[in-house]
Structure 1
């Protein structure tokens, strides 16, 4: 997967939208610092003063862009979603037959699993999804969008099938994939790998035409 999209690409909860290059660079530095601090100490321990100090800006400058640490965390979550959506859209747009769908789904699950392993900040942010209504809403909206992407590929392969049933199956599949990857990360690696393998088998059985 590629680097995270630029902060201006996301529908981020910024208090002030950066328009000049210097402001954009400052927002990028704030998010990079916050991401590193979360990866090291967790989002619960994140403090605005600490972010400002590490970013080399005043606390007042930080508040010009982000009203609180929740806004920083939401912005990071939305950026992760943009990254995920771009990868999934590209992979599913290329699907033209069942074998292509099988390769795309297996590759996407493996990539998502690897991303969670490589990004401790991402793991921390999404571990708190259910406890934070705003993150929960972001997660649900992202899952719906990913489900729509998968449904479009399924409808393309199975034009005679019931489109609404395919949409429901796609939505559930994307929810199950995200939840399983997050569970797998919390387990010992061997057990996590086994869960991911089982997930891929279940997805194939549910979605691929016989």
Structure 2
């Protein structure tokens, strides 16, 4: 069994990094346009031409930084991941939790909030509708996410690191992802009763696994 990596996802999809503030703002407009269009028309109908038109840039500007729509979508997904982890980290700093179980609830709450409010998030989640390896060619998307959340939990709660802990976090992420997708299929805002069940399921599972690992 391989240990989950908590490293940053693989190489960024940008052909080159913007070196000036104006270029960086232009790239952000492209990503905003891509995210909005994903929600409006879906990935199959998405094109670099439509993204350029929505962003108000020349098509050549798109190709200057991104080779195709997949690379743009990959960049949007990476932005989602960084935003998700950053928002969770900020909550961990500002809020007091009785233990890891309340932190898990906060992670789920943040996922639900981003699903409701962040353009492109509901269409991509973390990219699995486009490519299971969108974030990192060597790891499935949820494995990358599990690694990032694992790092946060280890840092905040001093849980014992082990391959068993890695596996428990990965299974919890996969299970939570599946149940929360069900919640949003039932209700565009996330059926609250199913979100509550997701929290109970993950807390119960992790409680049993952490107790077994610590025994």
TM category, shorter: 0.7 to 0.9
Distance (whole Å) between structure 2 residues aligned to residue 133 and residue 170 of structure 1: 18
Name the structure where helix makes up a greater proportion of residues.
1
Residue 204 (1) aligns with residue 207 (2): no
1:146 to 144, 149, 158: 149
Normalising by structure 2, report the TM-score.
Answer: 0.76
**What is the SS of the residue equivalent to 2:18?**
coil
Mean Cα deviation higher: 82-91 or 192-201: 82-91
> Does structure 1 residue 47 correspond to structure 2 residue 50?
no
Gap regions ≥5 residues in structure 2:
1-9
Partner-residue secondary structure (3-state), 1:135: coil
Residues 12 and 75 in structure 1, CA contact (< 8 A), matched pair in contact too: yes
**Which residue does 1:108 correspond to in 2?**
107
CA deviation after TM superposition for structure 1 residue 141, in Å: 1.5
Structure 1 residues 58 and 75: CA distance shift in structure 2, 3 A: same
Match of 2:122 in 1: 123
Report the more deviating stretch, 19-28 or 120-129: 120-129
- Paired with 2:28 and 2:148, the residues of 1 have a C-alpha distance of 26
- 5+ unaligned residues in a row in structure 1: which ranges? 1-9
Is 1:187 the counterpart of 2:186? The answer is yes
| Higher alpha-carbon deviation: 20-29 or 116-125 | 116-125
Deviation at 1:101, TM superposition (A): 2.4
Superposed CA RMSD: 3.1
Equivalent pair of 1:147/1:173 in contact (CA under 8 Å): no
Q: How many residues align?
A: 196
Give the TM-score taking structure 1 as reference length.
0.77
Secondary structure of the residue that 1:186 maps to in structure 2?
Answer: helix
Tell me how far 1:207 sits from its aligned partner. 3.2
Q: CA deviation at 1:152?
A: 4.7
